Amino acid sequence: MIEAALAVEQLKLRRSALVRTTTALLVLGVPALVAGLSAAATRAAPGSALAVKAGALGAAQGWPAYLGLVGQALAVAALLGTGVVVAWCFGREFTDGTITSLFALPVSRAATATAKCAVLTAWGLAVVAAVPVVAVLGGLLIGLGAPGADALAPGLRAAAVGALSVLLAQPVGLAASAGRGPLPAVGALLLVVVLTQVVTALGAGAWFPYAAPGLWAGAGGPQAADGVRALHLALVPLVALIGHVATATWWARAQVV
């Protein structure tokens, strides 16, 4: 019966205006923002306020720097964007009152929760995979020229950072379920973002799964990026898996009270 749950959840996601908007913001908005910053850094008069500010944000000339900045932007944007969609996907069942319709069905509630996790993860990964592709088009538009071999690694890293952020958004489903609505989950998401800043400032970022992708993307500088090991990044899928299992367990035991 998981096929039925997958089909229904996929349809709900496909029809959602929030999902369409978030997809557009991530796929078009992130490359547009970074391309704009990079253009400002390279085209503004040297020493001008605009050039200084864009430079401070990490914008610089050339494909590696440009795609590196895409990765850094995606680390935050993919977490927030997909986190909001995850919060909606689970939380709306409570605020719309449709949760009662998901009881007393041959599709178990654990199967429904698992189907939600599966379609959300698949959607998020597809979106972040498209971002570097669109970013390349943006790079061409701002005159970076044809990308060389040196663009491949930062492009792949940007996609990987986005994928890790999508995975990190998955436990938001548990917060939306336990909080019985999207808003508590969005609050939890913002709290995690703040906590990430604090943990990073304290120097323990690489071991904190929510900080590791951003550091790896270069948000903390080249030295911090080099300090992120495969083991640190491997904690991220574990966080997603724990989130999925905990959410499905919560749904299996849920009551309408």
Partner 1 sequence: MSAGPEGAPLLAQGLVRSFDLEPAVDGVDLAVGRGQVHALVGLNGAGKSTLMRLLLGMVAPDAGRALVLGQDVTAAPPALWRQVGHLVEAPFAYPELTVRENLCAAGRLHGLEPAAAREAADRLLGDLALDPWADRRSRVLSLGNRQRLGLACALVHRPAVVVLDEPTNAMDPAGVLLVRRLLEVEAGRGAAVLVSSHHLDEVARIADRISVLHRGRVIGVLDPSGVDLERAFFATVYADEAARTGAAT
Binding site for partner 1 (CB under 8 A): 1, 4-5, 7-8, 11-12, 15-17, 96-98, 100-108, 111, 255-257
Q: Which two tokens mark 219?
A: 């948000």
- Closest CB to partner 1 among residues 12, 53: 12
CB contact set of 39 (below 8 Å; sequence gap of 6+): 142, 143
Residue 130 exposed, middle or buried by CB count within 10 Å (0-12, 13-18, 19+)? middle
Rounded least distance, CB 186 to partner 1, Å: 19
Give min distance, CB of 86 to partner 1, in A. 16
Instruction: State in angstroms the smallest separation of the CB of 109 from partner 1.
Output: 9
List of residues 6+ apart from 253 with CB closer than 8 A: none
Strands, E assignment, the chain: none
Residue 12 CB, nearest approach to partner 1 (Å): 6
- Distance CA(78)–CA(219), nearest Å, equals 15
3-state secondary structure of 171: coil
- Least separation in angstroms between residue 248's CB and partner 1 is 14
With CA atoms as reference, report the closest residue to 139 among 26, 27, 39, 28.
39
Asked if 31 and 131 touch (Cβ cutoff 8 Å), the reply is yes
Closer to partner 1 by CB, 10 or 142: give it. 10
Return the number of the residue (23 or 38) whose C-beta is nearest partner 1: 23
> Both tokens of residue 251?
């749904």
CB of 117 to partner 1, least distance (A): 17
Burial class (CB in 10 A: 0-12, 13-18, 19+), 33: middle
Amino acid at 217: A
Residue among 54 and 111 whose Cβ is closer to partner 1: 111
- Give the three-state DSSP class for 210: coil
